[in-house]
Amino acid sequence: MPSFAPLAWLPKGALGVLKEIARHLLRRPVVGIAAVARTMDGRVLLVRRGDTGTWALPGGTLEWGELLSRALPREVEEETGATFESIGRVTGVYSRPDRDPRFHAVTVCVLAVVKEPVRGPKNLVEICEAQLFAIDALPENLAMGMHDMLSDALADKADVTLE
């Protein structure tokens, strides 16, 4: 058994309890937000990811203490350079653990209206570019299994998808 000298002062069994607490704290899903952001003429705003080179919905994870309604405009503006106009309805909540290889995320997908991007992404390592696509010219496969998120949102269903 490995020695944990810095923790030797702990009562016997405490290390096991600490490991169990850490496992629960560190292995929890994160909350994410993704926007199906469209311009007034109906084009869809997507971002090309720096890590995979594939297209994705703009979005990200909530910061500590942040509201979903604040995270969505922040993420869209940071990743695309587009001015955020308004939030629409929730189109789905997605929790499949295999979507993102980095962590397990529960992603809330929301409709949004944006103006055409004029600035571009803030972090060019994370996001290479932002681009508007006509509905009939959308990329086939989106990163992180987001194709169903986009399809559900564009289907304009009354029911919210819960995965």
Task: Tell me the average confidence (pLDDT) per consecutive run of 10 residues in the chain, 163 residues long.
Answer: 56 66 71 96 96 94 92 95 94 90 88 94 91 95 91 82 70
pLDDT at residue number 1: 45
Contact 12/4 with Cβ under 8 angstroms? no
CA dihedral for 131, 74, 57, 114, sign (positive or negative): negative
This prediction's pTM: 0.81
Q: If we measure between CA atoms, which residue out of 131, 113, 112, 111 comes closest to residue 121?
A: 131
Strands 59-61 and 55-56: unpaired
For the domain bounded by 28-162, which CATH number is listed? Answer: 3.90.79.10
Report domain extents, the chain. Answer: 28-162
Q: What is the pLDDT of residue 8?
A: 62
- pLDDT of 5 reads 58
